[in-house]
């Protein structure tokens, strides 16, 4: 008999969000665990002590060592941002509702969360939210980062429910929003006792980069929502390690391990493919999809990302020119975001 690792959540009206700053300088050497509710409990930080200024200020970074210890003790990445699942139940079919007490949300084959229904089960026309941040300790202890790619909905009830739409958010990133119109029914003669979401999760992530063929961008997009820098070779801040990991997937021989952005710049300089901020503004170089970007913020600190596309006209670059990037350790996760040329220190040509 299979032994499962299980947890459970009940429906909620309001979903909690764990705030993390967008710009986390690599010099802080802080992992996402510095911002979790779990660290606050361990450090004795009360809710009234935590504000936006706390997360963006130096006080948060004094817990870097504790965050690192928590990271090493956890199987999964930090539970930050919004982590939730929302299901919309069909309102038109006569049998769309279900009196089942719960359905299962599987991560891989042997880890699952019981999504409890209301007292009357799963009513027709209902929109039901489950806040996964309520089980943050369980997620961090049990859910390896790649299991967020391997999610399925399963029922063992003979009273099926017709699901119109399902949405999943992981560390603030929407990794699935699918209008499926499918039955979830565990009856003996029914085909669908499970709905496997793996393919649709990948499809949703790739849509965020417009399905670009560029390999490093493709590999980066597959990681959207993930928070565990150890996968990319880091035990602290992991923006440059993530960028290098993606480029290595595309057969670039970029540095590995705990590196930071300076070795990345040195690598591109050494092969004659590094361009400066001024060269971008002068028009001596135009970014190409998949290029490496090194950032330096006026407030201090460095960061790395991968260029996707220009938002503004590339023919008249200024410090206000905006581009889309995909980055690791932005708000402690992998996400698509926008940046301005004023923050670009150098770029590496990856054409």
Give the number of other Cβ atoms within 10 Å of residue 171's Cβ: 25
Note the pLDDT of residue 211. Answer: 84
- Judge whether 91 and 181 are in contact, CB under 8 Å: no
CATH of domain 215-348: 3.90.1720.10
Strands 5-9 and 111-116: parallel
What are the DSSP calls for 47-103, one per residue? Answer: GGG--HHHHHSHHHHTTHHHHHHHHHH-SS----B--EEEEEE-SSSTT--B--SEE
Measured CA to CA, the distance from residue 239 to residue 229 in angstroms comes to 8
Q: Which CATH number fits domain 5-13+81-207: 1.25.40.420, 3.40.50.2020, 1.10.3720.10, 2.60.60.20?
A: 2.60.60.20
CA distances from 275 to 89, 242, 253 (A): 53, 21, 18
Backbone angles phi, psi at 131, to 5 degrees: -90, 105
Asked if 5-13+81-207 and 215-348 have one fold, the answer is: no
- Judge whether 29 and 237 are in contact, CB under 8 Å: yes
Q: pTM for the full model?
A: 0.95
Note the pLDDT of residue 1. Answer: 61
Strands 274-276 and 344-348: antiparallel
What pLDDT tens digit does each residue of the chain (351 aa) get?
Answer: 678 999 999 999 999 999 999 999 999 888 999 999 999 999 998 877 777 778 777 878 888 899 999 999 999 999 999 999 999 999 999 999 999 999 999 999 999 999 999 999 999 999 999 999 999 999 999 999 999 999 999 999 999 999 999 999 999 999 999 999 999 998 866 667 999 999 999 999 999 999 889 999 999 999 999 999 999 999 889 999 999 999 999 999 999 999 999 999 999 999 999 999 999 999 999 999 999 999 999 878 999 999 999 999 999 999 999 999 999 999 999 999 999 999 999 999 998
Q: What's the DSSP call for residue 255? A: -
For the chain, the structural domain boundaries read 5-13+81-207, 215-348
Q: In the chain, at which residue ranges do the beta strands (DSSP E only) sit?
A: 5-9, 11-12, 84-89, 102-107, 111-116, 127-131, 151-154, 161-170, 173-184, 194-196, 274-276, 292-296, 302-310, 322-330, 333-340, 344-348
Measured CA to CA, the distance from residue 325 to residue 342 in angstroms comes to 14
Helix 215-222 × helix 239-249 angle, to 10°: 130
Q: Is 13 exposed, middle or buried (0-12, 13-18, 19+ CB in 10 A)?
A: exposed
Both tokens of 348, joined, read: 């590496």
Measured CA to CA, the distance from residue 184 to residue 194 in angstroms comes to 6
């Amino acid at each position: 008999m299979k032994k499962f690792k299980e947890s459970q959540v009940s429906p909620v009206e309001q979903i909690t969000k764990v705030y993390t700053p967008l710009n986390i300088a690599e010099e802080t050497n802080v992992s996402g665990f510095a911002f979790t509710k779990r660290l606050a409990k361990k450090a004795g930080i009360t809710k009234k002590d935590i504000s936006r200024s706390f997360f963006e200020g130096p006080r948060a970074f004094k817990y870097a060592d504790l965050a690192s210890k928590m990271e090493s003790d956890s199987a999964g990445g930090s539970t930050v941002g919004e982590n939730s699942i929302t299901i919309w139940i069909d309102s038109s079919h006569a049998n769309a509702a279900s009196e089942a007490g719960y359905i299962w949300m599987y991560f891989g084959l042997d880890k699952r969360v019981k999504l409890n229904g209301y007292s009357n089960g799963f009513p027709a026309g209902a929109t039901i939210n489950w806040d996964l941040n309520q089980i943050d300790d369980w997620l961090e202890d049990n859910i390896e980062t790649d299991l967020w790619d391997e999610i399925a909905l399963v029922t063992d009830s003979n009273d099926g429910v017709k699901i119109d739409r399902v949405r999943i958010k992981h560390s603030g990133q929407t990794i699935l929003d699918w209008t499926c119109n499918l039955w979830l029914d565990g009856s003996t003669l029914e085909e669908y006792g499970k709905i496997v979401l793996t393919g649709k999760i990948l499809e949703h992530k790739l849509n965020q980069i417009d399905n670009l063929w560029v390999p490093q961008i493709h590999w980066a997009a597959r990681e959207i929502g993930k928070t565990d820098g150890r996968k990319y070779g880091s035990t602290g801040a992991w923006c440059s390690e993530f960028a290098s990991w993606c480029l290595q997937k595309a057969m670039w021989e970029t540095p590995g391990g705990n590196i930071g952005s300076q070795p990345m710049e040195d690598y591109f300089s050494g092969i004659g493919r590094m361009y400066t901020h001024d060269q971008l503004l002068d028009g001596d170089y135009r970014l190409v999809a998949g290029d490496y970007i090194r950032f330096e913020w006026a407030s201090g600190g460095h960061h790395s990302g991968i260029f996707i596309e220009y938002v503004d006209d590339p023919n008249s670059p200024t410090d206000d020119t905006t581009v889309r990037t995909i980055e690791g350790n932005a708000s402690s996760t992998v996400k698509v975001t926008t940046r301005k040329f004023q923050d670009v220190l150098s770029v590496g040509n990856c054409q």
